[in-house]
Structure 1
Amino acid sequence: MKYNFITIEGNIGAGKTTLAHLLAKRFNARLILEEFADNPFLPKFYENPQQYAFPLELFFMAERFKQLKELLQQKDLFQTVTISDYLFTKCLLFAKVNLPDDEFRLYQRLFDIIHQQLIQPDLLIYLHAPVKKLQENIRRRNRPYEQGIPNEYLFNIQETYTHYIKQHDIKTLFIDASNADFLSNDIHINVILDALSKDYDDGQHYLTLP
């Protein structure tokens, strides 16, 4: 294992949390999971995006910052690896999709101040799946407020993520998760484990699951 802090990212329904759980168990790692269910604005946002987008994104940013700041400052002699199922920068990426320009500019100023205070991951694992696959996963996990998410919204999130990663030269394992089944297919998880034993330069490194 070459990395001490790994972050897993991807669109809604890409399988981030499932993979994070499996890797944390395999490496006896400290696990940081996004506490999205605590956001009181999330169901309201899906019903009325224009009215609730700004408080939604502010709440997410504050909670993610608080969680990462506290957990990453703690030293654990028995868990030297940390795995998170979100990148703090997702605050900015979702805000870019959800907020009008004037609100986004204000939000970005706040984000820039906060972002500097956090440790950045050694490696980003990005799960990329087509919108059809995302919708199947969303239906399967059956969170009521997610069931009406339109394809266009998922596509916009996807485009925003991939553009950001390619523009910022982040050390990224970019995984085609079109047929990913990390729970039932040992070959898929073993491909990830093998990839984590290697060193990578900054930038994107593409991986396809068999």
Structure 2
Amino acid sequence: MKYHFVTIEGNIGAGKTTLAHMLARHYNARLILEQFADNPFLPKFYENPAQYAFPLELFFMAERYKQLKELVHTGDLFQSLTISDYLFTKCLLFARVNLPEQEYKLYQGLFEIMQSQLVQPQILIYLHAPVAKLQANIRIRNRPYEQNIPDEYLASIQETYTQYIRQHNIRTLFVDVSNADFLGNEAHLKVVLDALENDSEDGQQYFTLP
């Protein structure tokens, strides 16, 4: 495969981490996973979004920056493969949904300073699922603070992601994961592997799973 830095993205419950683990095993790649469990504001945010959105997003951005900054100092970055289950721009997309305008502008300024110092992925795998599928996945993984996420919130996150991808012409494998079973169906994983190993042009390529 010609890529050295691949990022997986998608809504809450889309299956990012599962696929990241499988690709990292397949390619014997370095794996970067979001440390969401370390964010002390996450359960509080779901209880009181207005009060905790700003510290939540600041904490996430700082942690993501620290993780991804290490890649800049890794000498073998382009002689090996790194798989990440998040895009740093995720910070800005969630902030756009969660923060009021003045806080968002402040956050955006900090984001732009940090992003300029990071290595950007060469290709994005975006996992797209309907809200009903996301909610089913969220129930199955059973994190208590996620169990009452409104459909409207997931729909808003979904729309923010898709608008960003289309507006910025990012090289993206846009995968419909409505029926995804990467762990149980080898054909589903093969769709992603084949797509990664074929040449992809800038912009979006759309894939469905058999």
TM norm. shorter chain > 0.5:
yes
Post-superposition shift, 1:76? Answer: 4.8
Render the CA deviation track for 1:157-200: whole Å, top value 9, x for unaligned: 00000000000010000001100110000000011111111111
Q: Secondary structure at the match of 2:197?
A: coil
Q: Which runs of 5+ in 1 are unaligned?
A: none
Q: Distance in 1 between matches of 2:191 and 2:111?
A: 35
| Paired letter, 1:157 | I
The correspondence of residues 168-207 of structure 1 with structure 2, limited to 5 A, is 168-207=168-207
Post-superposition shift, 1:201? Answer: 1.3
The correspondence of residues 35-74 of structure 1 with structure 2, limited to 5 A, is 35-74=35-74
Q: Distance in 2 between matches of 1:164 and 1:170?
A: 9
Query: Residue 101 of structure 2 corresponds to which residue in structure 1?
Result: 101
Contact 2:71/2:119 (8 A) holds in 1 = no
Taking every aligned residue pair, what percent have the same amino acid on both sides?
A: 75
Post-superposition shift, 1:73? Answer: 2.4
- The answer to whether structure 1 residue 158 and structure 2 residue 158 are counterparts is yes
Figure out how many residues of one structure are paired with residues of the other and give that number. Answer: 209
Contact 2:188/2:209 (8 A) holds in 1 = yes
Query: Residue 20 of structure 1 corresponds to which residue in structure 2?
Result: 20
Q: Secondary structure at the match of 1:196?
A: helix
Q: Distance in 2 between matches of 1:73 and 1:164?
A: 28
- Please report the RMSD computed on the Cα atoms of aligned residues, expressed in angstroms: 1.1
- The answer to whether structure 1 residue 148 and structure 2 residue 148 are counterparts is yes
Q: Secondary structure at the match of 1:14?
A: coil
Post-superposition shift, 1:115? Answer: 0.6
Query: Residue 31 of structure 2 corresponds to which residue in structure 1?
Result: 31
Q: Distance in 2 between matches of 1:72 and 1:207?
A: 31
Q: Which runs of 4+ in 1 moved over 6 A?
A: none
Contact 2:131/2:151 (8 A) holds in 1 = yes
Post-superposition shift, 1:25? Answer: 0.1
| Paired letter, 2:102 | D
| Paired letter, 1:91 | C
Tell me: CA distance 1:72–1:18, structure 2 relative to 1, closer, same or farther (3 Å). farther
Q: Distance in 1 between matches of 2:63 and 2:199?
A: 32
Q: Which runs of 5+ in 2 are unaligned?
A: none
Q: Distance in 2 between matches of 1:73 and 1:35?
A: 20
| TM-score where L is the length of structure 2 | 0.97
